[in-house]
Amino acid sequence: MKLSAFTVVDAYPAEAAGGRDRYSEVLDLAVASEAAGLTTLWIAEHHFQPGGTCPCPPILLAAAGLRTRRIRLGALVSVLPFHNPIELAEQYSMVDQLTAGRLNLGVGSGYIPLEFQGFGVDPSTKRERFDEALETLLAAFRGDPLHIGGPHGGTVRINVGPVQRPHPPLTIAVQRREALAYVARRGTSVAMVPYATVQDLPELADQIAEYRRHLPPTAKATVSVALHLYAGERPEAARQALQRYLDSRLATQSAFYQDKVRKDPRHADARTIEQSGFALIGSPSDVAERLEAFRAAGVDEVLGMFDFGGLPAAEVAASVRALGARVPG
């Protein structure tokens, strides 16, 4: 089981008042993650709210590529209904070129109402938009001719392709159980965020098994799961940071998590998330030991959410170093 870092680049008023530079902190996280032997640094795309302050992952990933040499760099996710897929293919091809073929690309359909409003996208059309955009994106990466409709359309090919052929490794993020079979039948890797959608570890293991049942026999797809991780000497401070993070997700109407809390309000409490096993807080040895349950559940990659809720950057780096030494890939 691999260990990676995943940041949503969340920010809080107290951080801004203190002069914290979240982009520099993410670049430092990339360096610390590489030094600790982590596999990938993943960066989320969000818009219009402080629960996520990276609206353009390709820019931050390219900057991280200049600070690192080995670690892979991923978007998790590029929200396809919000963008022109040909532009995305150009942007992420350049990132793959600038990082010498280290790009991983996660894609998804979006889930925050404010973001759909900001882009003028009807959420009821997101599945159709996602499917169409994904096919165009992959065709562009392959160098296929792209037929543009309308009176001013034509046929084009992108002139800068990715280093990795036919395209960078692809992951689709899933927050609905019924989407697992769709992703599996494509033979595509899947990413899950269980604190927002799943009740407990047995349910997660059951969903992973369902996904694998639908994979084609020759598929080399993997399962990645995001967990809040803190390995250090101030667990109570980490629990407070986790509560700030959860409060921010509810405030931004994170749809799937909001629905989970509506069904069972206990999941708005950091203690419940920790008891469910989807936030691991404690000493390095304790956290590393509890991560083994995810290996047993069929997880191939843990997406460590280390920098949540305004935790000090030095403590984030210490957690990365501590767990990198104890969770071999």
Write the pLDDT tens digit of every residue in 72-112: 999 999 999 999 999 999 999 999 999 999 999 999 999 99
Position with higher pLDDT, 85 vs 153: 85
* 3-state SS assignment for residue 155: strand
CA distance 178 to 127: 13
Which among 138, 145, 38 is positioned nearest to 93, based on CA atoms? Answer: 138
CA distance 282 to 213: 34
CA distance 192 to 194: 6
CA distance 178 to 256: 14
Mean pLDDT, rounded, for 256-263: 95
Mean pLDDT, rounded, for 19-45: 96
* 3-state SS assignment for residue 248: helix
The C-alpha angle 189, 329, 24, rounded to 5 degrees, equals 80
The per-residue pLDDT for 288 is: 97
Reported confidence tier of residue 175, pLDDT bands at 50, 70, 90? very high
Mean pLDDT, rounded, for 177-196: 97
The per-residue pLDDT for 16 is: 59
Query: Does the structure show a pLDDT above 90 at 221?
Result: yes
The mean predicted confidence, pLDDT, of the chain is 96
Which among 193, 201, 200, 159 is positioned nearest to 175, based on CA atoms? Answer: 193
* Domain ranges within the chain, ordered by starting residue: 2-324
The per-residue pLDDT for 198 is: 96
* 3-state SS assignment for residue 79: strand
End-to-end distance of the chain based on CA atoms, in angstroms?
5
CA distance 227 to 231: 13
Which among 311, 300, 162, 167 is positioned nearest to 236, based on CA atoms? Answer: 311
The per-residue pLDDT for 290 is: 97
Report the CATH architecture of 2-324.
Alpha-Beta Barrel (3.20)
Q: Which segments within the chain are labelled E, that is strand?
A: 2-7, 40-43, 72-79, 103-108, 146-148, 154-156, 170-174, 189-192, 223-231, 279-282, 301-305
CA distance 182 to 195: 22
Query: Does the structure show a pLDDT above 70 at 17?
Result: no
92: tokens are 């992420």
